[in-house]
Amino acid sequence: MNAAKTRQYYRQLTEADLCDCEYCRNYIKEIRAAYPQLAAYLDKLGVDIEKPFEAIPIGPAKGTMLYSGAQYVILGSADDFKETQIGSVRVFVTDSHPVTDIEEEHFVVELAPISLKWPEPPQLQKKGSNWTAFCDLGTGRYFAEIMYTSREGREQYDYEITKDIYDQLGTFADDIENERLIKTADMTYSFENTMYGTLGPERTVWNEEANEARIAAEAKQNK
């Protein structure tokens, strides 16, 4: 092994050299905090734990992503490398890995198994007594609707809300507070048809683009 050359190798690696799939991104984000002893051990070998050569995901399970292993390049000869165990993780030399395209003498080690935090999928819809809110993952936009129905008629108010508003909805003990929060956002559409109206049903599109986006997002949710 050559720790100095290995350290130099990792220093020249940039973000563009790393896999940008969501599984590898999650690995890079979580690995150091989850396995500090493993990170310290690899650092002695010149390896940056946040720059894996390969991460091998199995799949998510209740907020956790399981990896059958993660692989790292080490420059030099494997003759003086000794297999070890760091906590629950075995560290060993592997010949089963993608082509490295490195001409200099090197070898690949694998860490296995690895278990890391994985973000739960967002709650796509929230509901209250008179309101419904939902997010469109495809566009990253959030919408809400407030509707009042009674014997006197119906009132409907649609809004494009922010993620911050969406995240807060449902956290208030009084549902009226949820409606008040929604009403701080930009209205996209309104419909009023009550016995107190003098001109009959009144429809107003306040933001045509946002209203069409809301309708399209709602249609996707109802498929």
DSSP symbols for 164-190: HHHHHTT--SSHHHHHHHHTTSEEEEE
Q: What is the pLDDT of residue 53?
A: 97
Strand partners, 160: 143, 186
**What's the domain range around 97?**
3-117
Q: Same structural domain for residues 212 and 141?
A: yes
Q: What is the pLDDT of residue 46?
A: 98
**Mean pLDDT per 10-residue interval, the chain, length 223 residues:** 96 94 94 98 98 94 92 96 96 96 96 92 84 88 92 89 94 94 96 68 88 84 68
Q: Same structural domain for residues 39 and 89?
A: yes
Q: Same structural domain for residues 209 and 140?
A: yes
Q: What is the pLDDT of residue 80?
A: 92
198 touches 158 (CB < 8 A)? no
Q: Same structural domain for residues 74 and 95?
A: yes
Q: Which of 84, 99, 117 is the last residue of a domain?
A: 117
Q: Same structural domain for residues 82 and 8?
A: yes
pTM of the model: 0.60
Q: What is the pLDDT of residue 64?
A: 93
* Number of domains observed in the structure of the chain: 2
Q: What is the pLDDT of residue 14?
A: 94
CA dihedral 180, 182, 187, 193 (to 10 degrees): -60
| Residue whose entry in the numeric block shows the structure tokens 């009042």 | 148
